[in-house]
Amino acid sequence: MDDEIAALYAERGKDPNSVGIVETQYWTCQDEPLDLECGRRLTPYTLAYETYGELSPQRDNVILIFHALSGDAHVAGYHTPTDTKPGWWDLMIGPGKPMDTNRYFVICANVLAGCKGSTGPSSINPETGRPYGLSFPLVTIGDMVRAQERLLSHLGIERLLAVVGASMGGMQALEFVVQFPERVASVLAIATAARMSTQGIAFDAIARHAIMSDPNWRQGDYYGGQPPASGLSIARMIGHITYLSEEQMTTKFGRRLQSRESYGYDMAVEFQVESYLDHQGNSFVQRFDPNSYLYITKAIDYFDLAAGRHSLVEAFSGVTAEFLVVSFTSDWLFPTHQSKELVRALQANGVRTTFLEITSDYGHDTFLLPNPELGSAVSAFLGQVAAREWAATRREDA
């Protein structure tokens, strides 16, 4: 979708509702090691993050966004005046947009194990002076959100108006509210699930296999040399099939050839869909670390909210936040039935939950695309939550 979204913005020219130029910030936790689920400790660690809008004096207008597998902290706006492409969810965040920066203070941090400024396998291990590579500890979705909770504490933020995420971002939102129920007024979980599905694990397993069987991978110790670009490219191509729907692929590409009038009867890339995937694979290797792809997909595959509990219902037993759960009809990576499972478990706990299944042909990627129904739902949900929260916080302050 990247190129299309860029094209969309290019067409629109300067967006009057952009948050404008933003800067990535960095926070390094030096003094408090993070105890990871794998039993190891991580220290020090850095989180890259961005913020949009202004923190209210009551510190009661904070939305924490969690990004998906290939996302980063740069959700909205531009890093330089000449950037042609804004942050990955710019459609959603800005003055007058669904997450209205005239009202809310929005934060997003790059996940641990990522490669966009937060500590991950490509970071320098202070003990050796060399990149961690595979010596980086495996972090879980739980570890990721614990690190981000500390960032919030560092920023002096106690309670969140909302935690918001789609896909792996939704997993983090769910994990966050389960671990820190008292810190969250509401949860917006989009195109996500309480656990990675078997088929999802299968796709991730092949992606990892492709990266690790690339001879350039060298057990993860490729920094300074050639990265396993070919393996990462295959991983990304597989991912892209799962992000689109069959309907949309057919509409968008059909059986059309890319630059030939007729079949070439050779092994060249010739179908448009083939060329699209090839391009997606090739451009991804310019911006993503293959080891981060291994670590993050493993965190996704491990994610299972009910694990170690009797049931998913039990997982949500301490939750007081209210929920908006959203799925897309043509999303086959995180299908609607997984959202419904979340809704049932929440309702069994008496959690106030709104469920919205949006009709869309755009598959899992719908959340990244212009969708008025999604935009209105997010805007209305946040407005209601804010009204209720502020009735309390702002009366006390008055």
List, by residue number, the catalytic residues.
Answer: 167, 331, 364
**Strand pairing of 130-131 and 93-94?**
unpaired
Residue 143, token pair as written in the block = 């570890």
Nearer to a copy of itself, 38 or 391 (CB): 38
H or E element at residue 150: helix 141-154
Contact 112, 122 (CB under 8 A): no
Residue 169 in tokens: 């971002």
Main-chain phi, psi angles of 305, to 5 degrees: -60, -30
Q: Which is nearer to a copy of itself, 35 or 182 (CB)?
A: 35
Give the closest residue to 209 by CA, choosing from 235, 183, 191, 230.
235
- For residue 278, CA distances in Å to 120, 210, 233, 234, 297 come to 27, 15, 8, 9, 21
Q: Strand 99-100 and strand 93-94: pairing?
A: parallel
Interface positions, 113-172, toward a copy of itself (CB under 8 A): 134, 137-138
Separation between Cα atoms, residue 371 and residue 216, nearest integer Å: 41
The stretch among 13-21, 52-60, 64-72, 191-199 that binds a copy of itself (CB under 8 A) is: 191-199
CB of 267 to a copy of itself, least distance (A): 6
Contacts 24+ apart (CB under 8 A), 389-398: 389/60, 389/161, 389/185, 390/58, 390/60, 393/58, 393/60, 394/58, 394/60, 397/57, 397/58
How many residues touch a copy of itself under the rule CB under 8 A: the total is 54
Helices (H), 244-354: 246-252, 272-284, 290-302, 312-315, 336-348
| 33 near a copy of itself, rule: CB under 8 A | no
CB nearer to a copy of itself: give 88 or 362: 362
By the rule CB under 8 A, 361 interacts with a copy of itself:
no
Which one, 160 or 237, has the nearer CB to a copy of itself? 237
* Shortest separation between residue 28's beta carbon and a copy of itself, angstroms: 24
Query: To the nearest whole angstrom, how small is the minimum distance from the Cβ of residue 41 to a copy of itself?
Result: 13
What number of helices (H) and strands (E) belong to the chain? Answer: 11, 14
Task: In angstroms, give the least distance from the CB of 111 to a copy of itself.
Answer: 16
Instruction: Please tell me whether residue 203 binds a copy of itself under the rule CB under 8 A.
Output: yes
Residues 227-266 that bind a copy of itself (CB under 8 A): 230, 233-234, 237-238, 241, 246, 249-250, 252-255, 263, 265-266
Q: Closest separation between CB of residue 233 and a copy of itself, Å? A: 8
Q: Does 271 bind a copy of itself (CB under 8 A)?
A: yes
| Beta carbon of residue 130, minimum distance to a copy of itself (angstroms, whole number) | 19
Distance CA 52, CA 76 (A): 8
Half-sphere exposure in the Cβ direction for 110 (13 Å, CA): 26
**44 preceded by cis ω (within 30°)?**
yes
Query: Which of these segments, 84-92, 226-234, 344-352, 375-383, binds a copy of itself (CB under 8 A)?
Result: 226-234
CA distance 372 to 91: 10
Contact between 198 and a copy of itself by CB under 8 A: the answer reads yes
Edge-first strand listing for the sheet containing 62-66: 25-29, 45-52, 105-109, 62-66, 162-166, 186-190, 322-328, 353-358
Contact between 199 and a copy of itself by CB under 8 A: the answer reads yes
The answer to whether 316 contacts a copy of itself (rule: CB under 8 A) is no
Told to check if 50 binds a copy of itself by CB under 8 A, we report no
Does 311 engage in binding with a copy of itself (CB under 8 A)? no
In whole angstroms, how close is the CB of 315 to a copy of itself at the nearest point?
A: 15
| Footprint of a copy of itself (CB under 8 A) | 37-39, 134, 137-138, 195-199, 201-203, 205-206, 208-210, 212-213, 215, 220, 230, 233-234, 237-238, 241, 246, 249-250, 252-255, 263, 265-267, 269, 271, 273-274, 277-278, 281, 294, 298, 301-302, 304, 332, 335
